[in-house]
Amino acid sequence: MLLAQVEQVQVPDLDFPAIAPILIVLGAACVSVLFEAFLPRSARWAAQFGLSVLTLVGAGAALLAYLGDAPATGVTTLAGALAVDKPALFLWATLLILGLGSVFLMADRRVEPGGAFAADAAIRPGTIQDRAQATTVMQTEVFPLALFSLGGMMVFTASNDLLTMFIALEVLSLPLYLMCGLARRRRLISQEAAVKYFLLGAFASAFFLYGLALLYGYAGSIKLSAIAAAAGGSDRSDTLLFAGIGLLVVGLLFKAAVGPFHTWSPDVYQGAPTPVTAFMGACTKVAAFGGILRVFSVAFEATSWEWRGVLWGVAIVSMLIGAILGLTQTDIKRMVAYSSVAHAGFLLIGSIALTDEGRAATLFYLLTYGFTTLSVFAVISLVRDANGEATQISSWAGLAKRSPVVAGIFTVLLLALAGIPFTSGFVGKFVVFSAALADGMAPLVVIALLASAVAAFFYLRIIVLMYMREPEEDGPTVSLPGVPTTITIALGVAVTILLGVFPSAVLDWSVVGAFVS
Amino acid sequence: MSGAFLLPALLFLPLVGGVVVALLRNNDKLAKLAALGFSLGELVLAVFAWIAFDANGARLQLTSSVEWIPQFGVNFALGVDGIALVMIALIAFLVPIVIGASWEEKLPEGRTLGGFLSLILVMETFMVGVFAATDVFLFYVFFEAMLIPAYFLIGRFGGPRRTYAAMKFFLYSLLGGLIMLASVIGVYVTSADVLGKGTFEWAKLAEISKDLSPTAQFWLFLGFFVAFAIKAPLVPLHTWLPDSAAEAPVGVGVLLVGVLDKVGTFGFLRYGLSLFPEASKQLAPLVLVLAVIGILYGAFLAFGQSDMKRFVAFTSIAHFGFIALGIFAFSSQSISGSVLYMVNHGISTGMLFLVVGMVMARGGSRQFADYGGMAKLTPVLGGLFLVAGLSSLALPGTNSFVSEFLVLVGSFPNEPVFTILASVGMVLAALYVLRAYQQIMQGPVRGTALVGLAGGPGSATDPESDTFKSKIADLSRRELIVLAPLVALIIGLGVYPKPVLDVITPSVTATMTEAGVTDPVVAQEGDK
C-alpha cells in the first residue's frame, strides 16, 4: 500500500547536462547572496566580481560541452517545463556573453570613482547621509541581482509552458526593478525610474497572467504544445483564445519595449545607472524576443492568420514611434531608448515571419544588436562632466577633437545602429528584411526601410555634433575607462565590425531550425 | 583572360593609401606626396586594366570572385564591361588631379590636409567598387559605403553651411539607398523562388529577371529607380546637389559631380535596362519627361545663379538630363552617346569646377557679382576658364560636342519631340556659360573681390599697379600642371573619340540586347 503510493509519485526526468548552464547561474546567484551577507565589505567587490565572471564563463563552458552531444531536435526536461533546443541554446549563449559584458560594466570602479552604484540605496536622496555616502565605495548587491535576472532570462527563453514562463518573467524582472534604483548620481530620477518600471511592469505581468488564465480556460492546459493542439482544430470558444493571446502578447511586448507598449523605456533607460541600462537594453531584449519567438512559433502558429495582421500594425507603430520621437530627444540615453523601440519593431517583423529564416534572422539580429547596444551605453558612461554623465546631446559637441578614439568608436556604433554596410547592423537588417520579404511582408519591409532612413537622421546628428562642431568651453571630458569597461567596448566594437564584414560563421550558427515542444 | 588581379588591386590600393595617408596626417608634406603617389599608382593600374580589356571580348571581363556570405549566395565578385571600365578610368584620372588641385587647400580650422586626402582615397576605393561590382549585394554595399567618406568630406572640410549640406546629402542618398535595398532583397527572394537557391550574381539575375511578370519587374525596378534618380539627379530629386556641390571643397565637388552622380546613370544601364527591360520601357516616358525638364530647368537656374559653385551644379543637372535622355531613348547611338557623355561630363565639369575654384582662391568670394575683368589680371586663367566653359556648352571640337551630338542624333528617330525640346538646352547652355565668363573675365577690372570694397582697404588700388597684380596672380605652375591633362583630353576626345567609343560600343550593344531593344530602322551610319 505504502509502496504503491511511493511509486505513484513520479520524479520528473532531469537532464542535468542540458540545464547545467541555468543551474550554474542560479546556484551562483545564491552563493553570491551569501557572499553579500558574510564577507567583509572590503573583500566583497573582488569576490562578487570574480564569482560572477567565473559563473558566466563556467555556464558558457557547460553550454559548449553540452552542445557537442546535444540531440539535434532538442529535448524537453523537468516534466516538459523546459525545452532545451537549438534556439534556446543560441539564446543562452547570447545572454551569457552579453551578460558577461554587462557585468564588466557594472564592476568598473574607475569611470565613476567607487563604482556606478550607490553605497546604500535606501538612504533618501539629498540628505546629509546621502552626501556622505557619495564618496564611499559601492554596494555589491548588484551582482547577485544581475545573476538572478540573467538566470530568469535563460529560463524564460526555454520555458515550455506558460506558468514557467510567468515565473521566469518575474525572476528576471524583479531584480531589474531594484537595479534601476541603484544609481550613485542623480538618485531621484533613478528611483523614479525604478518605481515607474515596477508599477508598469506589474501591470504587464498582470496582463500576462490574465492572458494565461484565459488560455488555460480555452485549452485546459498551460503547455504551449497543448494550446497549439487545441487551437489546431476544435469547436471551443475563439473569444477565450484570442482574448488570451492578446493579453499574453501585451505582457510580452511590454518586456520587449515594442511600441506602443514602450512608454516605460525612455524614462527607465534614462534614470537607471548606465551599466544597468546596458544590461536591460541588451539582455532583456534578447530574452523577451526569445520568449516571443517561442510562444508565437510553438503555441500560436496555427492561428497566425488571425493575429498576424494586428502585429503588422504593432510593428509599424513601433518603428514609427521609435524613429519619429527619437528625432526630438535631447538626452542621449532617451534617444537610444527610442532607437531601441524602432529596433524592436524590426525584430518583431522577423519574429512574426514564423519561418526558419525568420527565426534565424531574429536571433542573428538580437546578437548583433545586443553587442552594439552594450558598447553604446559603455561609451555613454565615459563622457562625463562635473555632475556625472553628460547625457545632454548638445554637450557632446566637438568630442572628436577632445577624444578622437571615443568619437570614432561611437561613430562606428551609431552607423551600425543606422544599418550602414560593413557593420553588423546592416547584415542584421538584411537578414530580417529578406526573411520578411520571402514570407510575403513586402509593405512592412518598405515601411521599415523608410523608418530606418528617418532614424538615421538622429544617429547622424550626433556624428555631426562630434565631428563638425567646436567643443564648448566647459564641455564634458572623456574619462579613462577601467579595464572591464575597455574590454566590453572593445568586444562590442570588434563584434560590430567583424559581423559586418564576415558574418558567415554566425549566420550558420543562427540557423537553428524549429523549436521543440 | 588574365589580369583578374587588376580589379582587386584597383579596389584596395587606394584603401591602403588612405590608411597610410591617415597615419602621416601630422606631416602635411609627406601626406600629400603619399596621397599623390598612391593615386598615380592607381592611374597606372587603370591603364593596365584598359590594355588588358578586350573590347570585343566577353560581356564582363577581368572577373574575379570570392565567396563572401555563402548563406545568401553573396560573392565578392568583380568584373567590368566597357562602360564600367571607362568610368573606373575616369576615376583614376580625376583623383590625382583633385589631389593636385587640393595641394594648398585652405581648410577649416583644426583640419589637416592629410585627413582630407585620406578620405578622398578611401572614397576612391568605394567609387571603384561601385563600378566594378558584379554582385548586386556588393554593389549595394559600396553604394552605401561611399556615402560615409563623402559625408565627412563635405561636413568636415566644406564651406560655411557644410553641416547642413552634408546632412542633406547623406539623408537623400540614404533614403534612396534604403528603398533600393528593398528591391535588392526583392530580387534575391525572387531568384530564390525561381532558381531554388537565391543569388546576387548580376549575370544570373539578368537571365531570370526578364521572365518575371511585368508587375513584379515594375516594383523591383522602382526601388532601384528611386535610388538612381536621386543619385543622377533627376529633377524633382535634385535639390541636394547644388547644396552639396556648393559647400563641398572644390576637389570633392569635382568627384561628387564628376563621378559619384554617374553611379545613377550607370545604374540605369546596368541594373535598369539589363535587369528589368520591360519595366524600363514602362517607365521611360516618365524619365524622358524628367530628363527634358532637367535640361531646361537646370539651364534656367544655372543662368540665374549668383553663386559660382551652385552655377556649376545646375549646369550639371542640365547635362544629366541629356545623359538620361540618351539612355532612355533606347538606340545604340544615343546610349553610346550617353556613356561617352558620362566620361566627358566628368572631364569638362571637373575642369569647370577646378577653374572656378581657382578664381575663388584668388578673390575669396563665391559670388559672380564680386568679380569682373579678371582676364586682364590673369589671362591664362581666363583662357582656361573659356576652354572649360566651351567644353561645357558642347562647342564642336571639344569632347562634349561628340557626346551631345550622338545623344541627340540617336534619340531623334525614337523620341523626336523630346529631342527637339532638349536641343533648346544647347542654346541655353551657350547663354549661361558665356554670361558667366563675361561677368568674371571680361570688361574693366571691377568687383569687391578684386578691387576691394569702396572705401575699404583695396579701394584706392590702381588695377594697373604692380602691387595689385601680384595679389591677383595668374596660374601657378602647379595649377597649370593640374589643368593641362584636362585640356588635353577635352581637345583630344573632341577630335578623336574613337578609342573610348570602341570600348563602349560593344557593351552598349550587349546592354541593348539584354534590354530587348533594337535600333530604329531609320538609323543611319552616323559617325562611323
In this predicted model, what pLDDT tens digit does every residue of A142-192 receive, in sequence order? 999 999 999 999 999 999 999 999 999 999 999 999 999 888 888 888 999
**Which amino acid is it at B339?**
V
Interface touch B155/A468, C-beta < 8 Å? yes
Return the residue of A nearest to B141 by Cα: A421
Contacts of A422 in chain B (CB under 8 A): 141, 145
Average pLDDT over residues A413-434: 93
Cβ contacts of B528 within 8 Å, gap of 6 or more: none
Q: At residue B470, what is the residue type?
A: S
Instruction: Please give the Cα distance from B328 to A75 (Å, whole number).
Output: 60
What chain B residue is nearest to A432 in terms of C-alpha separation?
A: B185
* Residue B417 Cα, gap to closest chain A Cα (Å): 36
CB contact under 8 A, B182 and A460: no
What residue segments make up the domains of chain A, in order of their start?
14-126+136-510
State the smallest CA–CA distance between residue A171 and chain B in angstroms.
Answer: 37
Nearest chain A CA: its distance from B331 CA (Å): 34
More confident residue, A9 or A5: A9
In B, which residues are within 8 Å of A434 by CB distance? 72, 185, 188-189
Pairwise pLDDT comparison (B526 vs A451), residue with the higher score: A451
Model pLDDT, residue B459: 47
Query: Letter for the amino acid at A94?
Result: T
ipTM: 0.86
Strands A383-385 and B74-80: unpaired
**pTM for the full model?**
0.90
Mean pLDDT of A293-311: 89
**Dihedral through CA A460, CA A465, CA A469, CA A474, nearest 10?**
180
What's the rounded mean pLDDT across residues A299-318? Answer: 90
Per-residue pLDDT of chain B (528 residues; tens, 9 = 90+): 467 888 999 999 999 999 999 998 888 888 889 999 999 999 999 999 999 988 888 888 888 889 888 888 899 999 999 999 999 999 999 999 999 988 887 777 778 888 899 999 999 999 999 999 999 999 999 999 999 999 999 988 888 888 889 888 988 998 999 999 999 998 898 888 888 888 898 888 888 877 788 888 888 899 999 999 998 888 888 889 988 888 888 889 999 988 988 999 999 999 988 888 888 888 899 999 999 999 999 999 999 888 989 999 999 999 999 999 999 998 888 999 999 999 999 999 999 999 999 988 888 888 888 888 888 888 899 999 999 999 988 888 899 999 999 999 999 988 899 999 998 988 899 999 999 998 888 888 877 777 764 444 444 455 555 556 556 788 888 889 999 999 999 999 999 999 999 999 999 988 888 888 887 765 455 444
Chain A residues with CB under 8 Å of B70 CB are 504
Higher pLDDT: B473 or A103? It is A103
Contact with chain B for residue A497, Cβ under 8 A: no
Q: How many CA atoms lie within 13 A of A165 on its CB side?
A: 30
A and B: number of Cβ contacts within 8 A:
87
CB < 8 Å to A439, chain B: none
Closest CA to A488 of A90, A152, A106: A106
Give the 3-state secondary structure of residue A187: helix
Closest Cβ–Cβ partner in B72, B145, B152 for A421:
B145
Q: What is the mean pLDDT of residues A362-387?
A: 92
Residues B358, B381: Cα–Cα separation, whole Å: 8
CB atoms B148 and A420 under 8 Å:
yes
B76 sits in which H/E element: strand B74-80
Q: Tell which A residues from 25 to 64 touch B, by Cβ distance under 8 Å.
A: none
CA distance B358 to B116: 19
Query: Ranked by mean pLDDT, which of A311-325, A469-483, B161-175, B513-527 comes out on top?
Result: A311-325
Could you tell me where the DSSP H helices lie in B232-366?
240-247, 250-255, 262-267, 277-304, 308-328, 332-363
Ordered DSSP codes for A129-185? HHHHHTTSPPP-THHHHHHHHHHHHHHHHHB-BHHHHHHHHHHHHHHHHHHHTTBSS
- Rounded Cα gap, residues B496 and B494, in angstroms: 6
Domain boundaries, chain B: 295-528
